[in-house]
A and B are shown apart, each in its own frame.
Chain A
Amino acid sequence: MSRVITLKKPVAITTHSCVGGKKEGKGPLGDYFDMISDDDYFGQDTWEKAETEMLKRSFYTILKKRDIKPQAIQVALGGDLCDQITSTAFCYRDITIPFLGLYGACSAMAESMAIGACLVSGGIVDNALCSASSHFATAERQFRTPLDYGGKRTPTAQWTVTGAAHSLLEREGKGPFITRVMFGRIADLGVKDANNMGAAMAPAAALTLKEFFRETGEKPENYDAIYTGDLGMVGSVLLKELLQKEDIELTNHQDCGLIIFDRESQQVQAGASGCGCSGCVLSAHILPQMEQKKINRILFMATGALLSPTTTMQQESIPGIAHLVEIQTERN
């Protein structure tokens, strides 16, 4: 049985939006965000409220771009990094549309799009609104230390993106289109260092890609680009090495975690991470290029590290997961 799901009817990504924080605004993609807030609190009094507010801004932006009312959305799918994914839930507490909360850590964008595409393609719903968000401060205080604690980041650490992104999937539209999806299997090669997420997630990325290529007969060079979510510098190197051992030469690889910030001047160590990382890069960088037909066929694969602060303290290794979405400018 094939694990790659070929959508009987390709699904159109009709609109997308993304909102970022101050540091994201100063990065190479700064001008391509729909909205940048110079205030990382987004006018709120707690970091958690800030993340919810950021998601809401992205939500209203996509509605405005598509010119529809909230009631037109048949199902919203999405996730974030906060305990019990409250940032997303609280966003849809105020905007009461049908909501499916997903937790796949930083794989949220690909996970929600893969599920949404299946629902739309199968004729279950007319449209699906997918989202992912992360906030540097909510992630930091939950997974690491207080913001004002003086800690030195290790060279393998990654910087959580403050960003929220939405994409709207519909049956009809001029594309780009999602043509195939693949839900990842969990991979864990024993990495325990919570400051080396790229290394923890690279095996999952390698596993999904390997199985995708084996089952479909596709080759990396058949794609204009293969985007991974947030492997960063360390994870990207490891992904290539792992695939080499499986006799796959990974060409055209790009990592969202190395696109959103200027790694040297913005001091983000090994790169960026967080659900918002792949979500914002997709909306601010990848999809616009496809709309302009600069690139026509890509794989978008977001990776997630399925750990919690408790499992880290209990010395557990970090399980990784990677979900894959194939996007093309033509339906074919």
Chain B
Amino acid sequence: MKTSKKEYSRMVEKASPPSRLVKNCTWAFMTGGSICALGEWLYRFYMNMGFIISDARLMSSITLVGLSALFTGLGWYSRLAKRAGAGTLVPITGFANAVVSPAMEFRSEGLITGVGAKMFVIAGPVIVYGVLASVVYGLILFFVSPMGR
């Protein structure tokens, strides 16, 4: 073949259609914004019910997670995400979807080796690196910053 790898990678770049950035971002903005506004509404709802701030925040997160699980179970979440992109990926509902969908998918491989082992196959890195980052912060607080003591 007369085409080199380098040359071919340029050809691939040219032949591959770009993502429709403006359209994708509009969808992401509208969907992501709506989910956050719903979160705010839930927070207020739980505040009115007499929860303290931190508990109201937690309850609103749990409700969003539950709704996401419901949507995922009914097959609606992936349908929405097909258009919404990051709008359904970045909110906590996206995290829940990343936990619920493999749990459902790998049910056919059993409760232990399927559901149990594969549940965090997508969301695992978020927890691992989130926790590691917070431990680094904890070490800094303890050893470096006098504020921590």
Contact = CB atoms under 8 A, between A and B. Distances in A.
Interface stretch (A81-89, A238-246, A274-282): A238-246
A155 interface: yes
A172 to B, nearest CB: 40
Contact of A149 (B2, B3, B73, B122): B122
Contact of A146 (B12, B18, B83, B104): B104
Interface stretch (B49-57, B94-102, B134-142): B94-102
B77 A150 contact: yes
Contact of A190 (B8, B86, B104): B8
A141 B5 contact: no
A320 B46 CA distance: 56
Given A155-B18, A187-B1, A234-B16, A150 B78 contact: yes
B9 to A, nearest CB: 6
A212 B78 CA distance: 44
A146 B105 contact: yes
B105 A148 contact: yes
B140 to A, nearest CB: 32
A277 B77 CA distance: 27
A251 to B, nearest CB: 19
Given A145-B122, A150-B89, A196-B12, A246 B78 contact: no
Contact of B19 (A154, A187, A242): A154
For the residues of B in contact with A, the DSSP-based class is: helix
Most buried by B among A147, A149, A270: A149
Nearest to A269: B17
B108 interface: yes
B82 interface: yes
A264 interface: no
Interface stretch (A118-126, A199-207, A220-228): A199-207
A150 B75 CA distance: 10
Given A147-B101, A148-B97, A150-B94, A203 B81 contact: no
Interface in A174-223: 187, 189-191, 196, 199, 203, 206-207, 210
B117 to A, nearest CB: 14
Given A146-B105, A187-B1, A238 B15 contact: yes
Given A149-B78, A152-B85, A245-B2, A191 B12 contact: yes
B128 to A, nearest CB: 16
Contact of B15 (A190, A210, A234): A234
A46 interface: yes
B131 interface: no
Interface in B1-38: 1-3, 5, 8-9, 11-12, 15-20, 24
B97 A141 contact: no
A46 B104 CA distance: 12
A242 B98 CA distance: 40
B124 to A, nearest CB: 13
B24 A152 contact: yes
B88 interface: yes
A206 B11 contact: no
Given A203-B1, A234-B15, A238-B15, A149 B101 contact: yes
A46 B72 CA distance: 18
B120 interface: no
A153 interface: yes
Given A189-B8, A245-B3, A147 B105 contact: yes
A203 B105 contact: no
Most buried by A among B5, B8, B15, B73: B15
Contacts of A148: 72-73, 75, 77-78, 97, 100-101, 104-105
A228 to B, nearest CB: 15
Interface in A130-188: 141, 145-156, 187
Given A150-B101, A234-B15, A238-B8, 12 more contacts: A48-B108, A145-B101, A146-B102, A147-B78, A149-B97, A150-B72, A152-B85, A152-B86, A156-B17, A189-B9, A233-B17, A238-B12
Interface of A: 45-48, 141, 145-156, 187, 189-191, 196, 199, 203, 206-207, 210, 233-234, 237-238, 241-242, 245-246, 267, 270
